[in-house]
């Protein structure tokens, strides 16, 4: 029974390229607004959307996308690519203090994000 499972996994040649961006100084909630707009679409269309997006964080995600596409090309994946998965997670929180009323310290939390982008080949050039 396990042999059939293994042969099935060998036959499915899903070529997936992954790129990560860790410790970005923006809250995950703001990053996921940009990530939701490009999830599941073709890489060329995603680049066009990110170029015209007004959100500040669209530029680092565009750089990450270009990096993943370049990595796919260098590994010999020449077909059409689409974004199969983009995950935005909570990174390390930086804790800072600021003077509050009568000089007492008040804590300020500065959030960071971790982003994982996966590209999948969905068409081949014949």
User: What would the pLDDT profile of 70-115 be if each residue is shown by its tens digit?
Assistant: 999 999 887 899 999 999 999 999 999 999 999 999 999 999 999 9
Q: For residue 3, is pLDDT > 80? A: no
**Cα(23)–Cα(90) distance, rounded to whole angstroms?**
9
**Cα(19)–Cα(66) distance, rounded to whole angstroms?**
10
Place 125 in a pLDDT band, splitting at 50, 70 and 90.
low
pTM over 0.85: no
With residues binned 3-state (H G I as helix, E B as strand, rest as coil), the percentages for the chain, rounded to 5, are 40, 35, 25
Q: What pLDDT score was predicted for residue 94?
A: 95
CATH T-level fold of 15-123: Ribosomal Protein L22; Chain A (3.90.470)
Looking at residue 19, what DSSP letter applies? E
Q: What pLDDT score was predicted for residue 123?
A: 63
Q: How much is the average pLDDT of 57-78?
A: 92
CA 111 to each of CA 23, 24, 55, 66, 93: distance values in angstroms, whole numbers, following the listed order: 9, 9, 17, 25, 5
Q: What pLDDT score was predicted for residue 9?
A: 45
Place 26 in a pLDDT band, splitting at 50, 70 and 90.
very high
Q: For residue 68, is pLDDT > 80? A: yes
């Amino acid at each position: 029974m396990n042999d059939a499972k293994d042969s099935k996994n060998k036959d499915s040649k899903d070529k997936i390229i992954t790129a990560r961006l860790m410790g970005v100084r923006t809250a995950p909630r703001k990053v996921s607004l940009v990530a939701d707009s490009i999830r599941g679409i073709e890489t060329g269309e995603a680049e066009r959307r990110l170029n015209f997006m007004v959100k500040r964080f669209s530029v680092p995600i565009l750089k990450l996308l270009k990096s993943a596409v370049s990595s796919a090309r260098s590994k010999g994946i020449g077909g059409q690519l689409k974004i199969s998965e983009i995950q935005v997670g909570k990174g390390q929180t930086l804790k800072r203090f600021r003077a509050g009323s009568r000089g007492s310290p008040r804590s300020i939390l500065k959030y960071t994000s971790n982003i994982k982008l996966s590209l999948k080949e969905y068409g081949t050039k014949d």
